[in-house]
Amino acid sequence: MTEHIQNAPQNIYKPAIMKIVAKHDEAPGVRTLKLEFQNPAEHELFKATYRTGMFGLYGIYGEGESTFCVASPETRKEYIECTFRQSGRVTSALANADIGDLITFRGPYGNRFPIEEFHGKNLLFISGGIALPPTRSVIWSCLDQREKFGKVTIVYGARTVADLVYKHELEEWQERADVDLVLTVDPGGESPDWKHKVGFVPTVLEEAAPSPENCVAVICGPPIMIKFTLISLKKLGFDEANVYTTLENRMKCGVGKCGRCNVGSVYVCKEGPVFTATEVSRMPAADL
């Protein structure tokens, strides 16, 4: 499933330079940056290789690099969007960067969601908290060619209303007739005017009870959410082979050398980050 970059630049550690052209605060401590390539050749390479699900290493010289997915879809390759929570040294520096500033980017790396294989199928997206960005990349990649897919259901939850990311896009999906959006917040996280569900994602998912018939599920979220959501999906009759997820292991090189993301027989950066639930179940659970 891995797509190899045949014409990758010779030095695998040398990043591309990107300009921040827009930024947006999604939730407390969570920010989206919109980035543009400065070097046309690097942009062409990105356009030729990027597919939804792949990730990159975003960096600020002097601070380092941090790994997260490309949050923009493969149907929109003029720019890169990334969404991250400000927590460590690099993400703090990225959060402090302003429009017009230059940052570094290495990638796109890893494998992808095989969305051609999803053609004609119903899609179920399940996501929690800050894990919406990788899901969002797949969602838009599919919505941008809506006619190729069946029913689209999105179940998204966060701890509190404030923690929901991409609020403007949630509204957009809410209004679309061709998308079923189920929003939820954890008990106690609702605001007085909250009109959607209150409850944990797996519970809300079971209530919504999407049919497993001809359906592919994509789930991204914290490990604990994934664990319980997989149980719920099983109850609903989903086959593990039709359930996709992404792993977010710690990485440094992104290209299968530094050893950090190795779990079981898999180097997540090369053979992942996208795996089916069947593949994940073969990995040693304790090391995830």
Partner 1 sequence: MTKILFTDKLHNCVEKWQSAGLTVIGPVQKANSSSYATVKNAGELDFNMVLPDRSIKELFFPQTEPILHYSIKKQEINTRESLPPNEPRIIFGARACDASGLAIDDPLFGWDYKDEYWFQRRNESVIVTIACTKADDFCMCTSLTLAPDSTKGSDVLLRPLENNKGWQVEELTERGREAFAKIADFLQESSEPAAPLAVVEEKFDLDSCVAWLKNPENFDSKFWKEISMRCIGCASCTFLCPTCHCFDIQDEGDTYSGIRRKNWDSCSFSLFTMHTSGHNPRSTQSARWRQRIMHKFNYFPGKFSVNSCSGCGRCSRQCPVDMGITETLQEISKLSQ
Partner 2 sequence: MITQEQYRTRVKELLSSGTVKMVIGYKPGSTPDRRRPLFIRTAEEANRLVLDSACITNLSGYLVTEGLLSDEKKVAIFLRPEGIRSINILAAESQLNADQIIILGFDSTGSVVKTLDGTHAGDFSELLGSIKQNSPVKPSEVLFEQVEQMTPAERFAFWQEEFSRCIKCYACRQACPMCYCRRCIVDSNQPQWVNTSSHTLGNFEWNIVRAFHLAGRCVECGNCGRACPVNIPLRLINRRMAQEVIEAFDHFPGLNQTQEPVLASFKKDDSETFIL
Buried residues in 23-40 as b, exposed as e (16+ CB within 10 A) = beebbeebbbbbbebeee
Q: Tell me which stretch binds partner 1 (CB under 8 A): 28-36, 84-92, 142-150, 225-233.
A: 84-92
Restricted to residues 18-77, the positions that interact with partner 2 (CB under 8 A) are: none
The packing angle between helices 201-208 and 223-235, to 10°, is 20
Greatest CA span in the chain, whole angstroms? 56
Give the DSSP letter of residue 170: H
To partner 2, the closest distance from the beta carbon of 86 in angstroms equals 12
State which of residues 75, 92, 203, 249 lies at the interface with partner 2 (CB under 8 A): 92
Query: Is 259 near partner 2 (CB under 8 A)?
Result: no
To partner 2, the closest distance from the beta carbon of 89 in angstroms equals 5
Binding residues with partner 1: total (CB under 8 A)? 45
Query: Is 63 near partner 1 (CB under 8 A)?
Result: yes
Q: How far apart are CA 232 and CA 135, in angstroms?
A: 19
State which of residues 40, 120, 192, 284 lies at the interface with partner 1 (CB under 8 A): 284
Q: Tell me which stretch binds partner 1 (CB under 8 A): 29-37, 168-176, 206-214, 250-258.
A: 250-258
Give the DSSP letter of residue 230: H
Question: Does the CA dihedral 156-159-161-167 come out positive or negative?
Answer: negative
Q: Tell me which stretch binds partner 1 (CB under 8 A): 7-15, 74-82, 185-193, 195-203.
A: 7-15
Query: Is 279 near partner 1 (CB under 8 A)?
Result: no
Query: Is 88 near partner 2 (CB under 8 A)?
Result: yes
Question: Does the CA dihedral 147-226-114-21 come out positive or negative?
Answer: positive
Q: Tell me which stretch binds partner 1 (CB under 8 A): 44-52, 162-170, 230-238, 279-287.
A: 279-287
Query: Is 262 near partner 1 (CB under 8 A)?
Result: yes
Task: For partner 2, give the closer residue by CB, 88 or 237.
Answer: 88
State which of residues 267, 273, 275, 276 lies at the interface with partner 1 (CB under 8 A): 267
Binding residues with partner 2: total (CB under 8 A)? 3
Q: Which does 92 bind (CB under 5 to 8 A by kind): partner 1, partner 2, none?
A: partner 2
Query: Is 206 near partner 1 (CB under 8 A)?
Result: no
Rounded to the nearest angstrom, the gap between the alpha carbon of residue 270 and the centroid of all alpha carbons in its chain is 16
Q: How far apart are CA 62 and CA 281, in angstroms?
A: 39
Q: How far apart are CA 26 and CA 84, in angstroms?
A: 9
Q: How far apart are CA 288 and CA 283, in angstroms?
A: 8
Give strand pairing partners of 126: 155, 219
Task: For partner 1, give the closer residue by CB, 73 or 134.
Answer: 134
Query: Is 223 near partner 1 (CB under 8 A)?
Result: yes
| Secondary structure in 3-state letters for 48-75 | HHCCCCCEEEEEECCCEEEEEECCCCCC
Give the DSSP letter of residue 225: H
State which of residues 256, 274, 276, 280 lies at the interface with partner 1 (CB under 8 A): 256
Question: Does the CA dihedral 23-26-28-31 come out positive or negative?
Answer: negative
Q: How far apart are CA 193 and CA 160, in angstroms?
A: 13
The footprint of partner 1 (CB under 8 A) covers 2, 4-5, 8, 10-15, 17, 61-65, 87-88, 91, 100, 102, 104, 222-223, 248-250, 252-253, 255-260, 262-265, 267, 270, 284, 286-288
